[in-house]
């Protein structure tokens, strides 16, 4: 076969054959001429496979980074696996349930002036909530339809994207206590200029804490001091307090129970911390009360426990009561619409009219006229799971303590949860928070600030004297 034709000597032919056998692809006598053609593609193939390996490494580290970045949310919603499993099973049973029925057009819902004394439009149907609901007392007769659903507008952004932060208003300023992963900053937002200033940082990292303002001091109570591996929250009982006049933080006396995901309100100069879950993941219904004058937290007796243990609920004080709404109930990740009212004089809770929407991690603010505005939030009930993810609301409702009724208000410009709200003369400010997940399942924190106004509040309306701070997550 080899070397026969061409007149080469048998010896040379044998050598060439040997060489060819050594390197059958590139016979020596071709090597110089063809190496560049033959080895070139081989080198290119090698380089291509190295590039493919590099791309895989790159993609792997990017996904690891993303996993880290969004681990906080997954950890917090530690029922995520449960949710996903639920979703897969429930979706197959209820494939057509939609968590976002369209908001009714405001015009038809709230006929514009002058509103005739028509009966209240039927409330938007709310999907049944799978939980053991305590019996609800009959609510008083509904108020006439509200004259103004109000409106949301945008104003100057905050300088850092925040979520899970605590928000309290003091004069024209709103203090933002950052609870975002790894952030322990305090900011002050000027509602007149839209400028944000960074103040003294917290003494330690906290998330899922409760925040309350009393006597020009901001209490950051309980929460979690830990994130990382394994991704679980660790409840703490420590409490730090910020003195607005001196811009100084200090530690103050600790809670009786380690609590995270609690909510807080201030009534008659006392700070209350309510519910949450402890370091053994027990859901709490208990209440502790701080008298700033003595600096002692008093655990109220069991008779002062809420009917529904819950975490990531919201609390505000109006008049001589504290109202607690929503959150996650004991059979996590069930989300509650239940509202309870605490009377400190008797130390007991009453169940009030439920919200029209089950929500946790929502914005709450007291507004003039004995009203409470509840906005946005998240729902992880089975009927709220869409594509394996919990729903995030844009809808807004307002409670009247006089009528014990909830009515729908103009929705937020976008769905949001883990944001903070506060009333500052003239409007309710909503800061930052999480948007719904994008296609990759990522939740991004926002820098946006929205302001809600409503003619029924008046331009210079003041919140009730006992207005309490909204809570942090
Ligand atoms: C309010 O704070 C000031 C200064 O921090 C303190 O002197 C005063 O006793 C506090 N008042 C009450 C009622 O706690
Ligand atoms: C405000 O923040 C949002 C979301 O974080 C961003 O999309 C928008 O561009 C910001 N607007 C301004 C004026 O910076």
Rounded to whole angstroms, how far apart are CA atoms 242 and 248? 6
**Res 470: pLDDT:** 45
Neighbours of 161 (CB within 10 A): 16
Burial class from Cβ neighbours inside 10 Å (0-12, 13-18, 19+) for residue 5 reads exposed
Between the CA atoms of 206, 74, 309 and 334, what dihedral angle is there, to the nearest 10 degrees?
160
Q: What is the pLDDT of residue 146?
A: 52
Mutate to test the pocket of ligand 2, among 156, 157, 450 (most ligand atoms within 8 A of CB): 157
**Per-residue pLDDT, 208:** 93
Taking the chain (473 residues) in runs of 10, the rounded mean pLDDT of each run is 35 40 42 53 71 65 49 43 38 37 44 50 48 50 68 95 95 92 89 96 94 97 76 84 98 97 97 95 96 96 98 97 97 93 98 97 96 97 90 96 96 95 95 86 90 81 42 44
| Ligand closest to CA 293 | 1
Q: Are strands 263-267 and 248-252 parallel, antiparallel or unpaired?
A: unpaired
At residue 332's C-alpha, the angle toward residues 326 and 334, to 5°, is 50
Residue 156, ligand 2, Cβ within 6 A: no
Alpha helices of 282-404 — where are they, by DSSP H? Answer: none
Q: What are the start-end ranges of the H helices in 94-131?
A: 106-109
Q: Is 413 in the pocket of ligand 2 (CB under 6 A)?
A: no
Q: Give 177 Cα–ligand 1 centroid separation in angstroms.
A: 21
How many Å lie between the centroid of ligand 1 and the Cα of residue 254?
A: 19
Q: pLDDT at position 259, please?
A: 96
- The Cα–Cα gap between 182 and 201 comes to 12
Q: Whose CA is nearest to atom 10 of ligand 1?
A: 215
Q: What is the pLDDT of residue 464?
A: 39
Tell me the per-residue pLDDT of 112-124, one tens digit each, with 9 for 90 and over: 444 455 555 555 5
Cα separation values, 276 from 162, 171, 354, 393, Å: 22, 29, 20, 22
Res 263: pLDDT? 98
- Structure tokens given for 416: 């949001």
Pocket flag, ligand 1, residue 215 (CB < 6 Å): yes
Predicted pLDDT at 47: 76
pLDDT at residue number 145 = 54
Residue 75: DSSP 8-state: H
CA 159–ligand 2 middle distance (angstroms): 9
Q: Do 359 and 337 form a contact (C-beta atoms < 8 A)? A: yes
In this prediction, residue 132 carries a pLDDT of 47
How many Å apart are CA 247 and CA 200, to the nearest integer? Answer: 6
Q: Dihedrals φ, ψ of 257, to 5°? A: -125, 135
Angle 406-150-370 from CA coordinates, rounded to 5°: 45
Q: What is the pLDDT of residues 204-230, one digit of tens each?
A: 999 999 999 999 999 999 999 876 555
Residue 293 beta carbon below 6 angstroms from any ligand 1 atom: yes
Distance CA 316, CA 305 (A): 17
């Amino acid at each position: 076969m080899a070397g026969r034709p061409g007149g080469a000597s048998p010896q040379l032919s044998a050598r060439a054959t040997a060489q060819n056998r050594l390197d059958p692809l590139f016979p020596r006598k071709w090597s110089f001429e063809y190496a560049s053609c033959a080895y070139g593609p081989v080198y290119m193939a090698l380089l291509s496979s190295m590039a493919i390996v590099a791309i895989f490494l790159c993609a792997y580290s990017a996904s690891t980074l993303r996993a880290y970045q969004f681990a906080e949310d997954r950890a917090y919603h530690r029922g995520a696996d449960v949710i996903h499993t639920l979703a897969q099973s429930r979706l197959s049973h209820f494939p057509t349930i939609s968590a976002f029925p369209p908001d009714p057009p405001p015009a038809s819902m709230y006929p514009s002036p002058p509103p005739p004394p028509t009966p209240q439009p039927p409330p938007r149907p709310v999907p049944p909530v799978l939980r053991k609901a305590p019996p609800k007392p009959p609510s008083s007769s509904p108020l006439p339809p509200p004259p103004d659903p109000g409106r949301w507008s945008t104003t100057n952004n905050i300088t850092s994207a925040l979520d899970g932060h605590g928000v309290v208003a003091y004069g024209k300023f709103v203090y933002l206590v950052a609870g975002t992963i790894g952030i322990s900053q305090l900011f002050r937002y000027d509602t007149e200029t839209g400028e944000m200033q960074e103040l003294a940082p917290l003494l330690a990292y906290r998330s899922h804490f409760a925040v309350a303002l009393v006597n020009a001091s901001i209490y950051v109570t309980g929460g979690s001091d830990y994130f990382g591996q394994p991704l679980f929250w660790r409840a703490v009982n420590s409490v730090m307090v910020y003195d607005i006049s001196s811009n100084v933080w200090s530690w103050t006396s600790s809670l009786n129970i380690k609590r995270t995901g609690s909510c807080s309100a201030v009534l008659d100069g006392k700070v209350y911390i309510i519910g949450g879950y402890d370091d053994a993941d027990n859901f709490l219904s208990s209440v502790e009360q701080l008298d700033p004058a003595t600096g002692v937290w008093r655990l109220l007796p069991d008779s002062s426990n809420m009917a529904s243990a819950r975490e990531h609920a919201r609390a505000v004080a109006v008049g001589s009561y504290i109202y607690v709404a929503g959150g996650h109930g004991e059979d996590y990740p069930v989300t509650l619409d239940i509202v309870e009212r605490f009377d400190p004089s008797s130390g007991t809770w009453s169940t009030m009219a439920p919200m029209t929407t089950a929500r946790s991690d929502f914005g709450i603010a007291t507004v003039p006229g004995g009203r409470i505005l509840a906005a946005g939030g998240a729902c992880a009930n089975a009927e709220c799971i869409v594509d394996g993810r919990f729903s995030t609301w844009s809808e807004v409702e307002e409670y009247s303590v006089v009528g014990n009724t909830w009515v729908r208000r103009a929705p937020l410009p976008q769905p949001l949860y883990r944001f903070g709200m506060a009333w500052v003369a003239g409007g309710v400010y909503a800061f930052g928070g999480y948007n719904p997940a994008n296609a990759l399942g990522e939740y991004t924190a926002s820098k946006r600030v929205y302001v809600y106004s409503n003619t029924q509040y008046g331009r210079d309306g003041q919140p009730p004297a006992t207005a309490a701070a909204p809570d942090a997550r």
